[in-house]
Amino acid sequence: MSGFTSTTLIGLVVGAIGQIDPDLCRGILRPDPMQAGVVSDRDKLTLLTAFTDRHGASAVLRIGQYLDLDEESPVIAVLVRSVEPTVLAEKWMRLERYYHSIHRTRIDNGTPRQWQCRRESKADPASAAENLLIAGILFGLLARIGAKDCRLSLGSVELVPNEIAETKLDCDAQHFSIRWSNDPAALSEDRSDAGTVNDRLADLLAGDIGLGWKLGEAARAMALSDRSLQRRLGEAGRSFSSVLRRARMRRATHLLTETATPLAEIGYCCGYADQAHFQRDFRRVSSVTPRSFRDVARQSAAIVQ
């Protein structure tokens, strides 16, 4: 069953395979994530199949080592901003839900410094190449956020990054696990009382607005109890939801006016669970849809020029 996938993911596949085997990608253009957020996954499947037939299953895992090719992508930026693997896991699963992916990854991170991953499907199972692609990308993302000595286990085979190319695989990667040796250092946070709680919270949220923030998470990051944070915000005439909405709108406005990021990606990058929620929130604040807001901003810029 054919579906849709993130343009960023397709771009990464085409870019990485183009680096590994230029002939295989000759005549294939990398899709521009600034033109559309999602595209048909048919081309991805065709290219992955050809690549696997020519280079073997382990080569597909190597695609996750080429994340730097898309480091300017807002989606990749959101993922690598994760302060710890638990946050990264939640962001990845939310990304798949956001795009209504037919094939999704269930990540169990209940064991310290280890993920147990299972690929699930709403229709026909994903191909072995698709599963290996996701395993390789998650493997690469963990390293990018600072996890050390990452090891990927597929069946009885355990891999480290520099051994991937030489390893022969014969598995569908529906189940895989990744472990690492350290807890990546969290971004430093100012836990002092300098500034108002409202300002400190706004700065915290803006530091990783792509995270689906909850009150408890923010309170812990600010060394406060949930009730203390609520009380102190209330004293300033604010609420957690209002500060979060303001931070999301500030980021959304920037992406709408200063970049060509597709509307389909902006909601995810601002921490929303789905596009409909983003549309409702934006219209509630601005009285117009995100598309209308962008159109008006572009028309105004053209007049000024």
pLDDT score of 187 more than 50: no
Percent of the chain as helix, strand, coil, to the nearest 5: 55, 10, 35
CATH number, domain of 288, equals 1.10.10.60
Whether residues 160 and 206 fall in one domain: no
Q: What is the spatial distance between Cα 212 and Cα 74, in angstroms, rounded to a whole number?
A: 15
188 within domain boundaries = no
Whether residues 207 and 266 fall in one domain: yes
Domain boundary pick from 179, 212, 232: 179
More confident residue, 305 or 297: 297
Whether residues 172 and 224 fall in one domain: no
138 within domain boundaries = yes
Query: Is residue 215 within 8 Å of residue 229, measured between CB atoms?
Result: yes
185 within domain boundaries = no
Whether residues 148 and 245 fall in one domain: no
How many folded domains does the chain comprise? 2
Whether residues 147 and 44 fall in one domain: yes
190 within domain boundaries = no
Tell me the residue length of the chain.
305
More confident residue, 77 or 71: 77
More confident residue, 189 or 14: 14
Alpha-carbon separation of residue 204 from 89, 125, 304 (angstroms) = 20, 40, 35
Domain boundary pick from 125, 148, 179: 179
189 within domain boundaries = no
Whether residues 236 and 162 fall in one domain: no
Confidence of residue 181 (pLDDT cuts 50, 70, 90): very high
Whether residues 49 and 99 fall in one domain: yes
22 within domain boundaries = yes
131 within domain boundaries = yes
What's the pLDDT at 300?
Answer: 62
Q: Return the sign of the alpha-carbon dihedral for residues 160, 161, 163, 166.
A: positive
* pLDDT tens column, 202-232: 889 988 999 889 999 999 989 899 999 999 8
Whether residues 55 and 125 fall in one domain: yes
Reduce the DSSP state of residue 112 to 3 states and report it.
Answer: coil
Single-letter amino acid, residue 72: E
Q: What SS3 string covers 148-178?
A: CCCEEEECCEEECHHHCCCCCCCCCCCEEEE
241 within domain boundaries = yes
Nearest Cα to Cα of residue 79 among 95, 63, 65, 64: 95
CATH number, domain of 81, equals 3.90.1520.10
Whether residues 151 and 227 fall in one domain: no
Global confidence as pTM? 0.76
Whether residues 167 and 204 fall in one domain: no
Structural domain including 294 reads: 197-304
Q: What is the spatial distance between Cα 45 and Cα 127, in angstroms, rounded to a whole number?
A: 9
* pLDDT tens column, 240-274: 998 999 899 989 999 998 888 888 889 999 999 88
Whether residues 34 and 124 fall in one domain: yes
Domain boundary pick from 126, 148, 179: 179
Confidence of residue 201 (pLDDT cuts 50, 70, 90): very high
pLDDT score of 186 more than 60: no
Number of other residues whose CB lies within 10 A of the CB of residue 56 = 15
DSSP annotation of 85:
H
Whether residues 79 and 136 fall in one domain: yes
